[in-house]
Structure 1
Amino acid sequence: MQDSTIDSLLKQTPLVSDGAMATELEKRGVATDSALWSATAMLDHPEAIAAVHQSYFAAGAQIATTNTYQANVPAFVHAGIAAPKARKLIQAAVTIANTAKQDFAASHPDFNGVVAGSIGPYGAYLADGSEYTGKYHLDEVAYQEFHRERLDLIMAAGVDLLALETMPKLEEVQALVHLITVNYPQQKYWVSFSIADPQTLCDGTPLAEAARWVVDQPNVVAVGVNCTTLANIEPALKTLRAATDLPLIVYPNSGDLYDPVTKTWQPTQHGETFETAVPGWLAAGAQIIGGCCRTTPADIRTVATQLARR
């Protein structure tokens, strides 16, 4: 097997990341319309999570993101799961991703992949769509206390890098990055923002300003945006590239609309596709491309095909 560190992969950019977890779990009969969202599968369907990881590797993904975006101890406890079990479930999610990577590599000697530990924002824990609005506020200490336990659990379980994703607020990213830098000073990570438009974070911070702050931090390997429409990606990439030379990561959703009340996605008409959009993203500087909510292995296979042609 080849060297599967993120540093070695980044020398071979562009890279393919994975796509939606919850969407694929739903296809396998797992209900995700709760405050735990895809983390629900950790309770009764761990084999479905492994199958989703494998499906994305088979589609051409080189990065598997752990099923921990919505998995944090307070959320599990609120759902009636004891804290000790919650901790085990979070670490099990990391183990499932690592095992899926190892199993795929065993039968594909040329495979070169990594596991990214997903860390979602405090807004995801609120389970009210706040990761798309940024309408919440904690001080730095409170943000760090919220993120600390999951971070420690993920790190103890062992990941290749961390994915700080769907982050709507620069102040939360700053608190989280400081926490990582102090406690895990060698740990690689990427930062991916949740945006209101191609120039602005959900909390109103200019995207360029946020990117400039990120680029000055140690061990960051990429900065970008995720869970926004495909149409927003190319202009967001242009905003980011004007602000930084750091590798750029993008993983949009399908363009459907999220209903925070029903915890479901509502289909919409959207003309752009991965097949038509990826060439423009590459031209605008994208170096890691994947998918977020409502995307599928077929979408990731399209990305992999486009990148292979390049």
Structure 2
Amino acid sequence: MDNPLSKIFITSPVVIDGGFGTTLEQWFQLDISNTPLWSTNAVVDHADLVIEAHLAFLRAGAELISTSTYQCSYPTFARAGYTTADARCIMFKSVQLASKAREIFRDEQVRNGTPVRNVRIALSLGPFGASLEPAQEFDGFYPPPFGPKAYTHMDAENGNNFGDDEVAKNESIDALTLFHLERLLILFENEAMWSSLDCIAFETVPLTREIWAIRRAMGLLHDRILIPEL
């Protein structure tokens, strides 16, 4: 079977950026770790620094940069005080900033007479756990219907396994599917934003059933894409 990524990346391995929020904090001295949106908060208040962070990765050799949307979901935006309309606009802006950084870097290469690198942009999406407080992208203690029970400070009471309860497990997969599909559709339904993206990166997914949900969401998204007959 052909690797679909080979159509995007000519050479292998591919160097990707990483730790975008940490970079904004450590390199650019932004205090964003105490906000629900983390790196996405910088899109609103420090767009210029988001571009500079992308450029820092590109100048260091990255071939794939990620949008600052890891934390993005309607519930997370609501906790930060934004409406659904605001949420869409901020996610669009994040894509635009990554695209702008790519353009600036390309112009730099042309001016310097260096070979132009084929930079790609990935839509970064964290797991459902990244929308929770406290965040659960590592342990996966999700509240119903996304999981068996929400995180508590009593460690002995935490768990993320449904055991033999297949009904609850399937309901969890259904809920997680809708969560991920909803975020994908924000970008998909805006043609200009969607066409700016080269791939999608689902990051730090802690649960196997959430991976199944993501695959299902991508399948449902694929069903909405009209493929012209040859």
TM-score (normalizing by structure 1) = 0.55
Q: 1:35, CA displacement in angstroms?
A: 2.1
Provide the residue aligned with 2:153 in structure 1. Answer: none
Aligned counterparts, 1:47-196, within 5 A: 47-108=48-109, 109-136=115-142, 138=146, 139-155=172-188, 156=190, 157-158=193-194, 159-184=197-222
**Root-mean-square deviation over aligned CA pairs:** 2.1
Q: Secondary structure at the match of 2:98?
A: helix
- Segment of structure 1 superposing worse, 56-65 or 170-179: 170-179
What residue identity is the alignment partner of 1:55?
A: A
What residue identity is the alignment partner of 1:24?
A: T
Quickly say closer, same or farther: Cα 1:35–1:113, change in 2 above 3 A.
Answer: same
What residue identity is the alignment partner of 1:19?
A: G
What residue identity is the alignment partner of 1:28?
A: F
Q: 1:83, CA displacement in angstroms?
A: 1.6
Separation (CA, whole Å) in 1 of partners of 2:99 and 2:133: 27
Q: 1:182, CA displacement in angstroms?
A: 2.2
Separation (CA, whole Å) in 1 of partners of 2:62 and 2:97: 16
Q: Is the CA contact 1:6–1:160 (under 8 Å) kept in the aligned structure 2?
A: no
Provide the residue aligned with 1:19 in structure 2. Answer: 18
Q: Identity of aligned pairs, percent?
A: 31
Which protein has the larger Cα radius of gyration, Structure 1 or Structure 2?
Answer: 2
Q: Residue by residue, what CA displacement relative to the aligned partner does 1:66-92 show, whole Å, maximum 9, x if unpaired?
A: 100002222111211122111100111
What residue identity is the alignment partner of 2:74?
A: V
The answer for unaligned runs of 5 or more in structure 1 is 188-310
The answer for unaligned runs of 5 or more in structure 2 is 110-114, 147-171, 226-230
Q: Secondary structure at the match of 1:130?
A: coil
Q: 1:186, CA displacement in angstroms?
A: 9.8
Q: Secondary structure at the match of 1:64?
A: strand
What residue identity is the alignment partner of 1:13?
A: S
Q: 1:110, CA displacement in angstroms?
A: 2.1
Provide the residue aligned with 1:308 in structure 2. Answer: none
Q: Secondary structure at the match of 1:132?
A: coil
Separation (CA, whole Å) in 2 of partners of 1:46 and 1:58: 18
Q: 1:19, CA displacement in angstroms?
A: 2.1
What residue identity is the alignment partner of 1:29?
A: Q
Q: Is the CA contact 2:36–2:79 (under 8 Å) kept in the aligned structure 1?
A: no
Q: 1:129, CA displacement in angstroms?
A: 3.5
Aligned pair 1:31/2:31, yes or no? Answer: yes
Q: 1:22, CA displacement in angstroms?
A: 1.1
Q: Is the CA contact 1:39–1:68 (under 8 Å) kept in the aligned structure 2?
A: yes
What residue identity is the alignment partner of 1:60?
A: G
What residue identity is the alignment partner of 2:205?
A: M
Aligned pair 1:7/2:6, yes or no? Answer: yes
What residue identity is the alignment partner of 2:127?
A: P
Q: Which has the higher contact order (CA 8 A, sep 6+)?
A: 1
Quickly say closer, same or farther: Cα 1:186–1:100, change in 2 above 3 A.
Answer: farther
What residue identity is the alignment partner of 1:77?
A: A
Q: Is the CA contact 2:138–2:206 (under 8 Å) kept in the aligned structure 1?
A: yes
Separation (CA, whole Å) in 2 of partners of 1:171 and 1:84: 30
Q: Secondary structure at the match of 2:39?
A: helix
